[in-house]
Amino acid sequence: MKITKNNNIVIETTNRAYGMLEQGGVCGRKVSYPLDKVMAVTGFTRKEIENIENPHEFIDNDDEYPVSLSQLINLNEIQGRVICKGEVIK
């Protein structure tokens, strides 16, 4: 995952169902989150976050159930800044 020069991470979202674009979902939405807050919540180091290829795939953690980086961000209500709204899938 790319970390910007302002120490933010950018997560792009495209809603999919069964490998296809999901009707009524969003395609290309980009949200920027502060790296220091993400590191505090997840317990990951900068290097570990850089090594995550897809923020929507499950990652190894100490919890009983697998979660993704984007789910951890949402569960902990980290406020991000919308860079691109994306398009609604019709």
pLDDT at 83: 93
**What is the Cα–Cα distance from 86 to 30, expressed in whole angstroms?**
7
pLDDT at 19: 83
Structure-token pair, residue 18: 């069964």
pLDDT along the chain (90 residues), means of 10: 91 86 89 94 89 84 77 88 91
pLDDT at 63: 65
**What is the Cα–Cα distance from 68 to 53, expressed in whole angstroms?**
11
Burial class (CB in 10 A: 0-12, 13-18, 19+), 9: buried
**Which residue is listed with tokens 């609604």?**
88
Structure-token pair, residue 9: 């991470």
Phi, psi for residue 32 in degrees, rounded to 5:
-100, 130
